[in-house]
Amino acid sequence: MYTRYRRIVQSVVMALIFAVPVLNIYEIYAVTGTLYALNFGGLGVADPAVILQAIFAAGELTVPLLSAALFPLLVAVLFGRIWCGWFCPFLFLAEGADWLRNKIGAKRWPRIFGRGVWVQNPLAANATRYAFLLGGTALAGAIAIPVLNYVNAPGILSTEAMIFVKERTVSIEFGLIVILFVLQLTILPKMWCRLFCPTGAVISLFRSPFGLRVISLARQTTSPCCRENTCTSVCPMGLAPFRDAGNLLCVNCGKCIEACPLGNLAFQGFEIRPASAKR
Amino acid sequence: MIKLLKDVIEYLRLGTSDDYKVNRTRPPGAVDEKRFMALCIRCNRCLEVCPYHSIVRAGFGGKIGTPYIFSESKGCYLCMACCQLCPTGALDRTLNNPEQVKMGKAKIDPKICYSHLFLEHDVVPDESLTKIGALCNTCYNVCPLKDAAIVLKDNLYPVVTDACVGCGVCVERCPTSPIRAIHVIPTGMGRIDEAGFYFRKAKSHFEKSRSSASQQPGQPLSGERLLDEKFKIDSSGKQPTFEFPYEKPSSLEGWE
């Protein structure tokens, strides 16, 4: 159920990153911009990681910079990492890579990164992406150029869509998307989102304990409830939802809730529906 | 050895000549180049909103993704739509008066300009059509700040004044080929591409000594204050007053 809604929302976002430049060519400016920074009829919204870069690179904290990052951070406080799970076109692409992986049987290829490798561990994945974010931000502050913007995958994807619509070509940055797609197809699925994405890292920091999140209703949360360990096998972020349902990596996609044969997992948020009501 | 290393660091810090190019400006309202590179998040909203498609994305290199206006292909028509949309303040969003834009300054090359060739050097259209002299004045006619930025000297040939904002429409429309007779030199460039390493070194020294607070009243002047003092030396407007040492004759003999 959630997956179906998610596909609809992701398709709409994917269509919009092509439709907005077309509308702008016909001088309809209701929505302008790319996924680096958008403007919905006056409401300016910018990628918080990008804003963080600009703050450190310019060495100044101005009102326009802060106000642009305010809305996405508010969404993160209320809904967690919902941007990544439900809207980000790059995760859509990564899930496409996963689908292709199943189709061509890439799962049976010799695995370089097995389950036991450290990057599969959620703690190590979190450590990697925060190290990447910190290093990139420090470098941006040192050389006064927002370097992480060069590798902002959703931003690049939407910019390339705009360039394609306007000029019928793509720029060199499209190579990054292609490289990431191939790497995710062959070596490590969801590699970018789990290990590097600076936007996701900043959004994760702002998720709150009372916002939307997945909780486990099982009595004990140390070992899997069912023998198949369904939730762990479907989680796109490589988590074990029965144990670390509230992990920073969780994108609120709802796959584990759908897959759970016992109904032990549920969304919870704003304390509208108490945890015991599901039982 | 340390001195050499210092020189290399200085060279890198001063940037390469890629920073500025003739006929390549930032969009209107852009802050100075170094701060612009820090603040611009490459969201390309300015590019998207530009109704004339003047703003172009920079290609491969350190400046990839940042907006540029290449005046030779399309100038800026000063609609000021882009400045108000910039989310980070890389383009000054308070700016909405086209006359206050400072993208650069246009410069006419009198050796190529048709009007200058015709009037100053008496070149007339010859059969080979390699050098044409004509009263063209296209730049004057297309200038958005006509009669302020480009004026007709003696009502005949175009001259660029200090009111020029560097929009580059004149460059786009200039009929000479293959080289345009008018160029836009972006703000902050100072023809660094034509100068050498020692010029840039000297420029950095000059900029260091700019701060007038460090200069004592007794010390010899340097930097900008010296320039200010030098610019004050100007004879125009004042008539020298001196007495003629001889008496003017009231009438000349034999002439009346």
All domains of chain A in start order, with CATH: 1-210 (no CATH), 212-278 (3.30.70)
Q: What is the pLDDT of residues A209-231, one digit of tens each?
A: 888 888 888 877 788 888 888 88
C-alpha to C-alpha distance for A230 and A224, rounded to whole angstroms: 9
HSE (CB half, 13 Å, CA atoms) of B182? 30
Question: Does some domain include residue B180?
Answer: yes
Mean pLDDT of chain A: 85
Q: What is the pLDDT of residues A159-181, one digit of tens each?
A: 999 999 988 888 888 999 999 99
Give the gap in angstroms from C-alpha A175 to the nearest C-alpha of chain B. Answer: 12
In this complex, which of A24, A34, A144 lies closest to B37 when CB atoms are compared?
A: A144
List the single range of A81-85, B113-117, B221-225 with lowest mean pLDDT: B221-225
Q: Which of B44, B52, B54, B64 to mutate to test the interface with A (most CBs of A within 10 A)?
A: B44
> Which residues lie below 8 Å from residue B101, measured CB to CB, with a gap of 6+?
B28, B29, B78, B80, B95, B165, B166, B167
In this complex, which of B48, B51, B57 lies closest to A21 when CB atoms are compared?
A: B48
Q: Which residue of A has its CA nearest to B63?
A: A145
Give the gap in angstroms from C-alpha A75 to the nearest C-alpha of chain B. Answer: 19
C-alpha to C-alpha distance for B129 and A238, rounded to whole angstroms: 72
Mean pLDDT confidence for A9-19: 94
Residue B1: which pLDDT band, with cuts at 50, 70 and 90? confident
Tokens standing for A138?
């420090």
In this complex, which of A32, A54, A166 lies closest to B41 when CB atoms are compared?
A: A54
Residue written as token pair 């000029």: A167
Question: Does some domain include residue B16?
Answer: yes
Question: Does some domain include residue B31?
Answer: yes
> Which 3 state secondary structure label does DSSP give A16?
helix
C-alpha to C-alpha distance for B11 and B22, rounded to whole angstroms: 21
Burial class (CB in 10 A: 0-12, 13-18, 19+), B18: exposed
Residues of B near A (Cβ–Cβ under 8 Å) read: 34-35, 37-45, 47-49, 51, 53, 57, 59-60, 62, 64-65, 85, 87-89, 93
**Residue B221 DSSP class:** P
Residues of A near B (Cβ–Cβ under 8 Å) read: 20-21, 24, 27, 29, 32-34, 36-37, 39, 44, 46-47, 50-51, 53-54, 57-59, 62, 64-65, 68, 144-146, 149-150, 155, 159, 162-163, 166, 171-173
Q: What is the pLDDT of residues A220-259, one digit of tens each?
A: 778 888 888 888 888 888 888 888 777 888 898 888 888 8
HSE (CB half, 13 Å, CA atoms) of B65? 30
Sign of CA dihedral A70, A71, A75, A76: negative
Question: Does some domain include residue B19?
Answer: yes
Q: What is the pLDDT of residues A179-198, one digit of tens each?
A: 999 988 887 888 899 899 99
Q: What is the pLDDT of residues A30-62, one digit of tens each?
A: 888 889 988 887 788 899 999 999 999 888 888
Mean pLDDT confidence for A204-211: 87
**Residue B158, strand partner residues:** B152
In this complex, which of B39, B44, B60 lies closest to A54 when CB atoms are compared?
A: B39
**Are the beta carbons of B80 and B70 closer than 8 angstroms?**
no
CB contact under 8 A, A162 and B42: no
What is the C-alpha end-to-end distance of chain A, expressed in Å? Answer: 19
Question: Does some domain include residue B208?
Answer: no
> Which residues lie below 8 Å from residue A2, measured CB to CB, with a gap of 6+?
A253, A254, A255, A257, A258
C-alpha to C-alpha distance for B62 and A145, rounded to whole angstroms: 9
**Residue A34, strand partner residues:** A37
CA distances to B71, B198, B207, B239 from B22, in Å: 9, 21, 23, 41
Residue B125: is the preceding peptide bond cis (ω within 30°)? no
The torsion angles phi and psi of B182, rounded to 5 degrees, stand at: -130, 140
Domain holding B172, by residue range, is: 9-186
Question: Does some domain include residue B191?
Answer: no
CA A68 to chain centre: 19
Residue written as token pair 């561990």: A121
pLDDT number for residue A279: 42
Mean pLDDT confidence for B187-205: 69
> Which 3 state secondary structure label does DSSP give B152?
strand
Give the angle subtended at the CA of B208 by the CAs of B199 and B100, to the nearest 5°: 85
The domain total for chain B is 1
List the single range of A34-48, A142-156, B219-233 with lowest mean pLDDT: B219-233
